[in-house]
């Protein structure tokens, strides 16, 4: 359990999350991708705190902030999904073509 292996795991999670975020049509699945990205990021942050930060508490704080961001993202995402569904009866990103020229 070295920093390198931890970071590679985090990188793998971020890569998978990015794939999801970029490829999924469904809003919810897309948000899962985002969750995975944040997952990897939190893992990397904790790894840095534990192995290079010398126990500085700001490392943990950063992770806490990331969690908060995750929560906000989830809440806002679902709210937007609901409002989109209300308006368009759709849960796919393709439905949001209001900006189409």
Partner 1 sequence: MLWLIPLFPIIAAGLLYPWWRTTASRPALAVSAAGVVAVTLALVVVAGTAGWTGSLVWSEQLRLAIGFTPMTYLAALVVPLVAAPIVFYAAAHESPHRLARLLALLVAFTGVMELIVLARDLLSLLMVWEIAGALSWALIGHEFKDRERGRHASQAFLTTRTGDLGLYLAAFIAFQHTGSLAYADLGQMDPLALGLFAAGVTLAALSKSAQLPFAPWLFAAMSGPAPVSALLHAATMVAAGVILLMQFQPILAGVDWFGPLLIAAGLTTALAGGLVATATPHAKRLLAGSTSAHYGLMFVAIGAGYPAVALLHFAMHALMKAPLFMAAGIAGHRAGSYELGQIARVRLPSGLRPAALIAALALAGLVPLGPAWSKEAVVTSAGLTAPWLALLVAVAGGLSALYAARFQGCLFPRSTALTGPESADGTHGGLQRAPVYFLVALVILSSMIWLPGVHRGLGQWLTTSFPSTKLWEFVVSLLLVLAGLFLGRRFAAREISGSAQSSTVRTFLSQWMRLPQAAHGLIVKPVDIVAVRLATLDDRAVDAGIRASTRFTLWLANLGSRTVEWLFDELPEGLAQLAGKAGENTRQLQSGMLHHYYSLMGIGVVAMVLTLILGMFTGGFS
Partner 2 sequence: MSAVDIVFYVNAAIAIYAGWRVFVTDSMVRASFFLLISFLAVGVIMLLLAAIYLGVALFFMMAVEMMVMALFMVMFMMNPAGLNPMKMVHQEKVAIGVGVAAFLALGAVALFGEFPSRPVPEGLKPVVSLGHELLGDSMLVFESAGVTLLATMIAVVMLTSHRGRFGDANEGSQPPGLEPGGDPADKPPEDEGGGHHHHHCH
**Least Cβ distance, residue 84 to partner 2 (angstroms):** 10
The two tokens of residue 58 are 């700001």
Considering CB distances under 5 to 8 angstroms, the limit depending on partner class, which of partner 1, partner 2, none binds residue 34? Answer: none
41 binds, among partner 1, partner 2, none (CB under 5 to 8 A by kind): none
Positions 55 through 94 that interact with partner 1 (CB under 8 A)? 93-94
CA distance 34 to 16: 10
Residues in binding contact with partner 1, number by CB under 8 A: 13
Q: Which of 97, 95, 100, 98 is nearest to 81 (CA)?
A: 95
Copy the structure tokens of residue 84.
């989109």
Question: Torsion-angle region of residue 54: left (phi > 0), alpha (psi -120 to 50) or beta?
Answer: left
CB of 2 to partner 1, least distance (A): 24
Shortest distance in whole angstroms from residue 54 CB to partner 1? 25
């Amino acid at each position: 359990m070295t920093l390198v292996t931890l970071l590679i795991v985090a990188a793998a999670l971020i890569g998978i999350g990015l794939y999801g975020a970029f490829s999924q049509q469904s809003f919810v699945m897309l948000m899962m991708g985002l969750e995975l990205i944040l997952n990897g990021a939190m893992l990397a942050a904790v790894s840095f705190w534990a192995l290079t930060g010398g126990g500085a508490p700001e490392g943990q704080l950063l992770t806490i902030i990331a969690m908060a961001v995750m929560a906000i993202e989830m809440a806002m995402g679902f709210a937007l999904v609901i409002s989109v569904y209300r308006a368009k009866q759709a849960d796919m990103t393709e439905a949001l073509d209001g900006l189409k020229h």
